[in-house]
Copies of this chain bind each other. A is one copy, B any other.
Amino acid sequence: MYIGIDLGGTNIAAGVVSKDGKIIKTDSRPTLSERPYQEIIKDMAELCLKLLEECDLKVSDLDGIGIGSPGTIDSTNGVVVYSNNLKWDNVPICDELKKYIDVPIRIENDANAAAYGEYIVNGDNVDSFVAITLGTGVGGGVIINKNIYRGFNGAGGELGHITLVHNGEHCTCGNDGCWEAYASVTALIRQTKKAIEENPDSLLAKEAEKEGKVSGRTSFNAAKEGDTIAEKVVDQYIKYVADGITSIINIFQPNILVIGGGISKEGDRLLVPIKEYVKKHSYCKAVAQTEIKIATLMNDAGIIGAAFASAQ
């Protein structure tokens, strides 16, 4: 039995996970990230112990704890090297948590953990697998030879920060033109707002008014109702997403690539044109092609992936 912890800037989510990848029970509490890290990690420990108790388990039943954390991670030494979200700098998270629960503890970057969770559940045990997450940013994780790929310094797999437009839109990372600056939910909202400004009488503008704000769903919803302005926004957004996916496939040619994050709930409206775009634009057409599919785990991916990463 494992525990997986998905440590976020807002919430700490944790779950007891069985060896066959099933979540037995989950719970969460606010991170309150302004506190000293010792307090946050103490809360993580209490959350784990509470979960164990509620599942009638003892610490000795645990094979390990895995933590998925935002930021740059040193998995070897169990340290959060740097996290912008948590405002952490060289926090020895594994040693600190071990003070409360003495089992093997491992930490992974959260995007890597989520990718690994999708791999465990949807990866068919293939050699190479890529997961991308279309959320506030664009996250990614790469599995090679059935293991998480981290690069030599633990910072690899930042798929959202490949360039899509040289000298393009400014990205939160400081660079210009990153894929994330075009394919994230944040980018889609910006693209939708621009279309509304240019077309204030459109059905798209009315949809935004009805929703009370512009979200990642606004354009997709208005497009479903046949609004041509919204359709243009959605089509162009999907091209941005698909162009980045094409680059990733040209590099990795993974057996499987899954698309997760909030936008992935749009299902075939997203998936079908992405597949068409990749088929038309990818470099190698004479060979077997990567299977592209929608992720299924959503928020549980991080917990399951962290849990299983602890067994790596």
Q: Which residues of A contact B (CB under 8 A)?
A: 72, 81-82, 126-128, 142, 144-145, 149-159, 161-166, 168, 173-175, 177, 182, 239-240, 243-244, 246-247, 250-255, 281-284, 286-290
Contacts and interface: CB of A to CB of B under 8 A. Distances in A.
A72 B284 CA distance: 7
A177 B282 CA distance: 12
- Best-buried of A240, A284, A288 by chain B (most CB within 10 Å): A284
14 contacts: A82-B287, A150-B253, A153-B288, A155-B253, A155-B284, A156-B251, A157-B251, A158-B283, A162-B162, A162-B247, A162-B250, A175-B281, A175-B283, A177-B243
Contact of A286 (B72, B152, B240): B72
A282 B173 CA distance: 9
Contacts of A163: 163-164, 243-244, 246-247
- Best-buried of A145, A251, A290 by chain B (most CB within 10 Å): A251
Contacts of A246: 163, 175
B173 A283 contact: yes
A281 B158 CA distance: 13
A91 to B, nearest CB: 12
Contacts of A247: 161-163, 247
Contacts of A144: 144-145, 149
Contacts of A166: 164-165, 168, 182, 239-240, 243
Nearest to A90: B286
A284 B165 CA distance: 20
A36 B71 CA distance: 56
Given A144-B144, A162-B251, 14 more contacts: A82-B287, A126-B152, A142-B251, A151-B254, A152-B288, A153-B253, A153-B287, A155-B283, A156-B252, A157-B251, A158-B251, A165-B165, A166-B239, A251-B251
A266 B287 CA distance: 37
A162 B253 CA distance: 12
Ranked nearest first, the 3 interchain pairs of A and B with the lowest CB-CB distance are A151-B253, A155-B284, A162-B247
Contacts of A174: 281
Contacts of A157: 251
A48 to B, nearest CB: 28
A110 to B, nearest CB: 15
A254 B152 CA distance: 6
A221 to B, nearest CB: 25
A284 B253 contact: no
Contacts of A156: 128, 251-253
A233 B175 CA distance: 22
